[in-house]
Amino acid sequence: MNYQINVTRSSMPTYEEYCEEIKELWDSHWLTNMGTKHKQFQAELERYLDVKHVTLYTNGHLALENVIAAMNFPKGSEVITTPFTFASTTHAIVRNGLVPIFCDINEYDYTIDADKIESLITENTVAVVPVHVYGNICNIEKIRNIADKHGLKVIYDAAHAFGVTYNGISAANFGDASMFSFHATKVFNTIEGGAVCFSDDGMVQVLNDMKNFGIRGPESCAYVGGNAKMSEFQAAMGICNLRHINTEFEKRKAAAERYEHMLSGIKGIKLCKAQAGVKPNYAYFPVVFDGYKYTRDEVYDKLKKENIIARKYFYPLTNSFECYKSFPTAGENKTPTAKYIADRVLTLPMYADLSIDDVDRICYIILS
């Protein structure tokens, strides 16, 4: 019983399935530059996510950074976002020469508090970058209404929301664009990878230019672009994993339901409630320790001593990073709900192959 249980574990096809998928690459020697696997994977994602356009990237961060750049906002413009996220979200905004304006989160699903967005809008505001957290979906209706009222773009960081639907609509269809991460730790992975989903036909060429040096032909370079292309090997992994994604969700669901059975109704332990109309992906299992007999950090240490690696996620808040101290709304005390949750939340191990026995073992340690 002393084997290590990590907070996540990458889902993979069988060795034989992946080898069969990449076999033709040894015939073609075409390993990158939007080859047959890239095109096949892109088309399959557009069908699965029920979205008009998908542009694939080598990772989710460059996908987000590029789609923000594609909006061509004036340098120094303000973008309202949440500090309860991974560093990548805020970095993508700042690396585009924009100013993040940090909005607090709500205490129920830990997404951006849509009721607080409008008070942060100024004449310099150009966009909102909300984050779907742990697979929980933001208040998309209110955010859209605010954006329409003030003429703002909405770009979702949907890194946690692959396969999630709201009222039967894929999360890929929300906002002006949605970014997905296909990192190895995500519910769906392409080893490393990411994508931008959108409906505007005019963005297809722009995003392709950005990720491929602006090259449009053997003797044509129309844009000062970079290099963020997904390789054929990444795309092949995506093709394989997409075949099994619904089975992966069901396995994760079983683990999540066992956690809920074991930890529900315990004084001082707060679990996320299911969102109305949302079909979840069971990407993470967050627990907030608030008035429990052990603090979050004590639970983390207890689990670690038993070779179980949980994660303080998201902690610390991005508005507390030293690199953002000079920004106008920096400082975690300005987002008190986010600080409160960040100081108490722990994501427990969650992956498709996590056994019910291991879930029980984790819960017994927490409850002992």
118 and 258 in one domain? no
Q: What is the CATH number of the domain that holds 257?
A: 3.90.1150.10
Q: State residue 247 phi and psi, 5-degree precision.
A: -65, -40
**Residue 2: inside a domain, yes or no?**
no
User: By three-state DSSP, how is residue 220 classified?
Assistant: strand
Q: What is the CATH number of the domain that holds 52?
A: 3.40.640.10
211 and 276 in one domain? no
pLDDT at 262 over 90: yes
160 and 84 in one domain? yes
Beta strands at 165-166 and 278-279: parallel, antiparallel or unpaired: antiparallel
314 and 171 in one domain? no
What is the average pLDDT across 88-112?
A: 98
328 and 214 in one domain? no
* Domain with 276 in it: 245-367
Q: State residue 108 phi and psi, 5-degree precision.
A: -100, -50
CB 329 within 8 A of CB 266: no
How far from chain centre, in Å, is Cα 181?
A: 6
232 and 257 in one domain? no
284 and 173 in one domain? no
Q: Which of 197, 223, 243 is the last residue of a domain?
A: 243
**pLDDT computed for residue 2 by the predictor:** 75
Q: How many domains does the chain have?
A: 2
Each residue's pLDDT tens digit, 200-230: 999 999 999 999 999 999 999 999 999 999 9
340 and 263 in one domain? yes
pLDDT at 1 over 70: no
Percent helix / strand / coil, the chain, rounded to 5: 40, 20, 45
The residues, any chain, with a CB within 8 Å of residue 110's CB and separated by 6 or more, are 84, 133, 134, 136, 272, 286, 341, 345
Neighbours of 140 (CB within 10 A): 21
**Dist. CA 306–CA 364, nearest whole Å:** 11
**Dist. CA 294–CA 186, nearest whole Å:** 29
**pLDDT computed for residue 71 by the predictor:** 97
Q: Which of 196, 224, 243 is the last residue of a domain?
A: 243
Contacts 24+ apart (CB under 8 A), 171-178: 171/132, 171/137, 172/49, 172/50, 172/51, 172/54, 172/197, 173/49, 173/50, 173/51, 173/197, 173/199, 174/137, 174/138, 174/140, 175/130, 175/140, 175/143, 175/144, 176/71, 176/200, 177/67, 177/203
258 and 172 in one domain? no
Mean pLDDT of the chain: 97
Each residue's pLDDT tens digit, 287-313: 999 999 999 999 999 999 999 999 999
- C-alpha distance across the termini of the chain, in Å: 17
CB 258 within 8 A of CB 360: yes
Each residue's pLDDT tens digit, 336-365: 999 999 999 999 999 999 999 999 999 999
**Residue 6: inside a domain, yes or no?**
no
**Residue 3: inside a domain, yes or no?**
no
Q: In what order do the strands lie in the sheet with 269-271?
A: 269-271, 285-289, 345-348
**Residue 108: inside a domain, yes or no?**
yes
Q: Which of 194, 225, 243 is the last residue of a domain?
A: 243
**Residue 136: inside a domain, yes or no?**
yes
**pLDDT computed for residue 214 by the predictor:** 94
**pLDDT computed for residue 328 by the predictor:** 84
Least confident residue range of 2-6, 114-118, 142-146, 309-313:
2-6
278 and 211 in one domain? no
285 and 177 in one domain? no
183 and 68 in one domain? yes
